[in-house]
Chains A and B, each alone.
Chain A
Amino acid sequence: MDLELKKMGSVLAVRVGGEFDLQAVDYCRQEIDQKIRAEGFKDILFDLERVTFIDSSGLGVILGRYRKAREKEGKVAISNNSSRVAKILELSGITRLIPVYPSTSQALKYLARGVG
């Protein structure tokens, strides 16, 4: 699994690549939470475009960050263009909570719109 954390305006862009499973989650959680604590991000973009495998462990990291962001009135969006990942996102019900966009630019637009 590769993890890249990038500041994009006021948004923390979390770019995950490879296999997002149990082996990846502890490291991911720690790195993301540490970055949020250090730089005070409220909004998070999960860029899953390079993810080749995801299961409920990976989804759990996203959902956990979503819950934390909501506590601070922040927003979370996902960018994904893989049908493989899309099926898992749909089936999990996470798409009812977190909007999914086909590109990072569209997801960033949503996050820039403010509350709503």
Chain B
Amino acid sequence: MQLRNRMKLELLSLPENVRLARVAVAAFASEIDYNVNDLEEIKVAVSEAVSNAIIHGYQQKPDGVVKLTASLFADALEIIIEDQGKGIKELEKALETNSSSDPERMGLGFVFMRSFMDEVELTSAPGEGTTVKMSKKLPGEAQAET
């Protein structure tokens, strides 16, 4: 697949960087012909993935590093969010609603990521961290399929 553009960011696991991550990705994606609604959905998906890295991966410790890579391919925008935190023991369980270890978070993060992106892939190993890879088709590509 032909790479047209790429952005890489490394962020400390601080709550204020959740906003920075989503705004940076939205700016990167604004080069593409997405509508406002698509951009909002991308922002929510990024927000959820980075929040999960901070809350679950790094257990809210501020010195972890969250790596974000946004790549623009000919047919899709791909976003990869990686942490080297705690990792997830039971992947399937983590993807269920109400799975969150925090009673106030409802495990909704993956629900939003899956609803707003076309593909979401989660890889994780206990003690090694978690990687979320998600992609959204470019506007013309999404229409061509329907």
Interface of A toward B, CB cutoff 8 Å: 19, 21-23, 26, 29, 53, 55-57, 59-61, 63-64, 67, 84, 88, 91-93
Interface class of chain A by DSSP: helix
- Chain A contacts of B112 at CB under 8 A? 55-56, 88, 91-92
Q: Which of B16, B18, B103, B111 has the most CB of A within 10 A?
A: B18
**Which one, A67, A84, A92, contacts B40 given CB within 8 A?**
A84
Pair A91/B15 contact, Cβ less than 8 Å: no
A56–B112 alpha-carbon span in the complex (Å): 8
Number of A-B contacts (CB under 8 A): 61
A93–B48 alpha-carbon span in the complex (Å): 17
30 contacts between A and B (CB under 8 A): A21-B15, A21-B51, A22-B18, A22-B51, A23-B19, A29-B104, A53-B22, A53-B44, A53-B47, A55-B44, A55-B48, A55-B51, A56-B51, A56-B106, A56-B112, A59-B106, A59-B108, A60-B102, A60-B104, A60-B105, A60-B106, A61-B104, A63-B104, A64-B103, A64-B104, A88-B44, A91-B111, A91-B112, A92-B108, A93-B97
Interface of B toward A, CB cutoff 8 Å: 15-16, 18-19, 22, 40, 43-44, 47-48, 51, 54-55, 97, 102-106, 108-109, 111-112, 115
> In angstroms, how far is the closest chain A Cβ from the Cβ of B56?
12
- Chain A contacts of B54 at CB under 8 A? 22
Q: A53-B43, A55-B112, A88-B112 are in contact. Are A22 and B55 (CB under 8 A)?
A: yes
A79–B54 alpha-carbon span in the complex (Å): 30
- Chain B contacts of A55 at CB under 8 A? 44, 47-48, 51, 112
Q: Which of A21, A55, A61 has the most CB of B within 10 A?
A: A55
Beyond the given pairs A56-B106, A56-B108, A88-B44, 7 more chain A to chain B contacts, judged by CB atoms under 8 angstroms and listed by A's residue number, are A56-B51, A57-B47, A60-B102, A60-B106, A63-B104, A67-B103, A92-B111
